[in-house]
Amino acid sequence: MKPKEIITRRAAKLFKDGDVVNLGIGMPTMIMQYIPEDIDVWFDSENGVLGLTAAPENEEDLDFNLVDAGGIPGGIRVGGSTFSSFDSFGLIRGGHVDYTVLGAYEVDQYGSLANWMIPGATCAGMGGAMDLVTGSKNVVVVTTQTNKAGEPKVVKKTILPLTGKRVVTHIITDMAFFRVVPEGLLLEEVAPGVKVEDVLALTDADVIVADDVHEMDLS
């Protein structure tokens, strides 16, 4: 199983019936395809859509007014609605989003997230991420355990510009599932074939290892 599939399959297990979920650009949008059939989730886009679905299979049915956070055309479910950006951010800032799922450049053991720019690199802008991480009930980071240089992305303290301070509740990587708790970073699950020692070796943060660490359910 490829790293992104491991991450997004595990993330899809977090939600329960009726949850309002906002998916960030890129990998988070893959989560849609792995939602269990018995779970009814409402996907939100800060562009002004509640009830967003994957794009129709027939290209003739594509509606380019219905897009996800990355501008990719999608669909809308029965009962879904569209509205202005003003209302969309009212929904977000009002605490009505149950889960926001975002990628990361870095995330630290305190739940602080850096995901919108790298100094000196071209940046498209922060988008709605700062509002989402502040207004959502849960903030889930989905990311590979290391960057392209093999350096840990889960660190003691972020050094990149922050998207939000102490806002992350869950971190899911291709190796592990962490929960951010008041005491720090709690390792609860490992990916198939991965040992706790492997995770610790590629995590530059203080980690509390749960007594009952178990393998991720990726079914």
Active site residue 46: yes
**Catalytic site residue from 5, 37, 46, 57:** 46
What are the backbone dihedrals phi and psi of residue 27, each rounded to the nearest 5 degrees, phi first? -50, -40
The encoded tokens of residue 199 equal 């995770």
Catalytic residue list: 46
